[in-house]
Amino acid sequence: MAQVSLDTYLDQAVAKKPAVNAATLLVGLVTAIGLGAGLYAMVAGHHHVFATTREVPWGLLISTYAFFAITSTGLCLLAFIGHAFGGTPIAALGNRAVFLSIATIMAAFSVIGLELESPWRMLIYNVISPNFTSNIWWMGTLYGLAVGCMLVEFLAILTRSYKIALALGALGALAEVGANTNLGAVFATLSARPFWYGAQLPVFFLCCAFASGAAAIILFTHIAHKMRGTKPDEATFTGLQSAGKVLALTLFLLGVATAWRFISFFVGGSELGRLAAMNLLTGPMSFNFWVFEIVIGLALPLLILVGTQMKSLAAMSAASLMTLVGGFIQRYDLVVAGQQVPVYYGWDNLPSFLGYTPSIAEMLLAAGGTGVALLLFLLGEKYFGKVFRPESH
């Protein structure tokens, strides 16, 4: 491997900007407060600080973890496609996609690590007492393998050991696909929750990964150029257009998948599944579903991308931001709506939908996890900015 110092890829155009440094400090403060709330919950007791209950044990933090983990998968896959098939336009975005994939999986690990009461037990028993029949075991193991591969891959990119980087990128992409589909299977194999149960979610999560990954690479590449006060060169813009096409296609497929998923609940589906679907269609969570999931997360981004034909970077960035916001709410709706229908519905005058509203500590920790991703992005643009240029791919 070639020897490089930390200054080799330092981008002075970013490092010397007071606004960027101020933003980094602000994001760092938000991150510290958010992660501090998670640490406080571990000391005071999750059952005292978080709003989850025995009836609704998974809440905002699980959906936040799923959002960042799924986004990481999409970024990793896009990076591998760009690196493995170097003639594709998306190759110009590959290095930044690798780094963003690391940043988002670190955000996911930060949230899930502090959501668990004893995360160290997971680390210990994951190794000394593996359960090969557990989707959660495979998910954690494969995401751990993936982040290890991506870290070494990025180091290989920095040292220009491209054959090693390509091999590790392939292994990391396979691990991410396995982890992502096992994450979907964590929900899809729970027969007691008909809203989740079935074979669709693992594939649905993979499609979500491509949408979130494409949206993230477009949005953050645009922000990176805004930070520098420059416009993307031709190769980068062509790559962004390719990512926009991926985003448009996956948004269309997600729209079709969402429609058929809800149709299936009313054509031979179980009563509990229909109740959970009605919670989103006309019930307490209908505003989230129609406004954020459908309009902001699917319809508007697709109309913007098709209407502008991916010729405007500002329009593509707006569509990407909408997609990420809608995707975040979609993960939340999926997690919560699947639990709000009581398992023993109809017994002892149980309500149709169990209540859940995230606590302040949960919202702070979710903000802290988001801060981890943003902080790593800002630091990456400062210290590794030169490696994200098209000529470095």
CB atoms inside a 10 Å sphere around CB 204: 22
Helix (H) or strand (E) holding 217: helix 200-228
Q: How confident is the model at residue 191 (pLDDT cuts 50, 70, 90)?
A: confident
Helix (H) or strand (E) holding 169: helix 162-188
| Angle, in degrees to the nearest 10, between helices 300-308 and 234-266 | 140
Instruction: Count the helices and strands in the chain (H runs, E runs).
Output: 15, 0
Q: For residue 112, is it within any domain?
A: yes
The predicted structure's pLDDT at residue 189 = 93
Share of the chain above pLDDT 90, in %: 78
Residue with the bigger pLDDT between 16 and 153: it is 153
Q: How far is CA 195 from the centre of its chain?
A: 21
Instruction: Determine contact, residues 115/366, Cβ cutoff 8 Å.
Output: no
Q: For residue 291, is it within any domain?
A: yes
Q: How confident is the model at residue 391 (pLDDT cuts 50, 70, 90)?
A: low
Q: For residue 1, is it within any domain?
A: no
Q: For residue 136, is it within any domain?
A: yes
Kindly report, residue by residue over 269-308, the tens digit of the pLDDT: 788 899 999 999 999 999 999 999 999 999 999 999 999 9
Going along the chain, which residue ranges are E strands? Answer: none
CATH at residue 260? 1.20.1630.10
d(CA 237, CA 280): 38
DSSP assignment letter at 289: I
Q: For residue 79, is it within any domain?
A: yes
The boundaries of the domain holding residue 250 are 6-392
Q: How confident is the model at residue 347 (pLDDT cuts 50, 70, 90)?
A: low
d(CA 345, CA 350): 6
Q: For residue 340, is it within any domain?
A: yes
Q: For residue 300, is it within any domain?
A: yes
Distances (CA, A) of 257 to 182, 253, 298, 351: 19, 6, 12, 30
Kindly report, residue by residue over 203-238, the tens digit of the pLDDT: 999 999 999 999 999 999 999 999 999 999 999 999
Q: What total number of domains does the chain contain?
A: 1
Q: How confident is the model at residue 377 (pLDDT cuts 50, 70, 90)?
A: very high
Kindly report, residue by residue over 51-66, the tens digit of the pLDDT: 999 989 999 999 999 9
Residue type, 42: M
